[in-house]
Amino acid sequence: MSSSAQKLVIVIAADEDADRLLAKMTKAGYPVTKISSTGGFLRRGNATLLSGVEADAVDTVLAMVRAECRPREEYIPVQALPFPGSLPPGQPLQVRVGGAIVFVVDVERFEKI
């Protein structure tokens, strides 16, 4: 059982951003597990990354998330939306993609078995 303060960092990000973040975290020596998921407004592929880190490493991990999961604007055809009949066809719709949702949770107990 670990005696130092541990945090669980949960990152929900777009697949392409999550893959870059996973590679960067792994290279830096942080343990990380990727769980594929789907959700959000566009129902695109997402990933949930789970990483148990020391409390003093949280800011470093968050800096990696900010660097790899930047929000950006994309244009998509209205027909690609999950509710295409609600908007008139025509010009593509500008939407925000990328970015990340991050939760940092206290870990009461951690065991590596």
What is the CATH topology of the domain spanning 6-106? Alpha-Beta Plaits (3.30.70)
pLDDT in tens, 2-60: 457 999 999 999 888 999 999 999 999 999 999 987 765 556 678 999 999 999 999 99
Q: Is 107 helix (H, G, I), strand (E, B) or coil?
A: coil
Find residue 4's DSSP bridge partners: none
pLDDT in tens, 54-78: 999 999 999 999 999 988 776 766 6
Q: Which string of DSSP letters, residue by residue, matches 23-85?
A: HHHHHTT---EEEEEEETTTTEEEEEEEEEEEGGGHHHHHHHHHHHS-EEEEEE-GGGSSSGG
pTM of the model: 0.75
